Structure 1
């Protein structure tokens, strides 16, 4: 197996009796999707949060890798550009690639005109779908213009069109969608992830050192590839702050003769030091739930970090979300039965998924939650039987069955009540 860090994936059997009746009156809100067709009701209200301008962007059985449950929404399979015009995602190839079926290709779709481009990188076996955040673009793949993408891709050593050999490595690359040109960065390894930092002018790349397979090197560089700095860390970047040099780092340690994630840290890439250890749920001393399942999310301002947690363990274990504030250097709020998806409509808000059976398999989505961290306001937008795939500001992507029963992907805009008044950070 290519994954050099043997990361266990915990399966916590959790059952929740919570339904819509359990939502408090202060958190309830009427639901409306104002769409150009009659598929969704149009209920106009200025006192509630709602979705408007719903558009179907991927119709029918598209083979886009949406996953089978809500936890796949957290695996970073769909990424919107900062301006909301480009969508980066993996799609299963409908035809064979060198005699193999069920391989994944990376697709860049222009949401303004519906055009698509297959990125010129080796395909991936479908079994790796759950590991894509650890192998590709779980952080910030787009630059500020939305035209360049930095990510980790496979090196197709045997030239069969698929990144599948035990001996093949990964490479950090930059793809320019305006010219279709690819530039290789000087970072390779068994596992490579990459993203832009908060300035949009530097890359943050993690790559397993071939000489030290259990160590991660965190690399920073200007986009001209000069002035590389190397940080030798035992950990994996999981969330890059859009407003500072802070990176959430999944630190690994040797546990029971294996390298396993043991701590959640905040690392200052500029000052090259660890600045905080975040409280987190551990099972057997390890933080395995943070490796493949959960992708922590920063607000747009970088003032608050939302990351998943387990509470009530072992008697009544349920998933929730902790809200860490940069100013106070502390967790200021714990939200139950929600999972962070992406930054919200305001600089200090987050979009989360509300579920009624918070367990690893078979969870059912109740809807969206928008939480304003600056004043602890919450808005609920019911979206039953829907999988939330990603957000960027006011734009949200989700999947549900269309009129003929085939799953389709939609975009819509989140509109908050007019009396929403976030506090200054």
Structure 2
């Protein structure tokens, strides 16, 4: 395919919303004009000179390229780590490689470096809006726990150059690895233009765009969980699951959907179970992890975002999707909890006066204090009555119904 590459600071490459062809190999005839530059806005659009068909074809080729890049360990310093290492497709796009306290975070390409945060699932990540502040002053969206990457493409740009992750020294080194592969050379030139490798910044932006395009496919967000099938009349919830559903969407009992609902109304299709806002829910520091990774500073959360300076945002983290939550342990931004039921009990402690409910079942000790208590979201956390074991178990049962069909075999009874 002949292509013309345009570069400009005011232009951006975005994904076509339309027909998706699953696998397309080879070079197709036609001339496609692709603009690349500012990749900070989502969703993305491709400008095609021969209409929507060309756009759909180029989109499919980008998905195919992005898939290969996602699994390519050669984009890391020691050629041992890929995107899929920390976001394993067979494990709900989460990292299950570690053991013990080290399982709370991800190892780097050197096999030694250990992060301080739990790798969030890449499932449904494409639905998070571009990082922004609403007219009410509420921060929303972005990627990573602190939203510091505005878009999926920006997120994909981070790990290859992070010394604690894939550890490549610079963009030029990454592009040199790409050019070792003749298939990559042909694919990049066919999609982004013959001149794509002239400038490392342009080629790097194209690489992250292709990865982001792949991450927005149905492979990451099939919407085929039991809950989705229930909404389509294809599955009947068990009495326990149905009770959990009622509790989850209830303003009277749990208020879960105050933060874990994207759509305007409850129980709409293609719900991602996150409003992508930021809150401090009082998670304690993961001291066991920090003994290993030797991190001493507090995790400032949203305040780590380069565009956020308001100290009121300290300790706030992005509300994660609950899709595949039953198979993506450990939980919270620092991986401090191992079991899904523990997470429900953690929330329940704010509303219970029972001595029993003030004990962390995983440690046998009292729940520890928040890492940053000053900005705790008390209003949201202290709304609603305490739940008994029946209702706690029902919520867990409902959350399990949010598991994609391909992961249902991983759900523990």
Higher helix share: 2
Higher strand share: 1
Shorter-chain TM-score range: under 0.3
Instruction: Give the alignment's TM-score, normalised by structure 1.
Output: 0.21
- Is the radius of gyration larger for structure 1 or structure 2? 2
Instruction: Give the alignment's TM-score, normalised by structure 2.
Output: 0.21
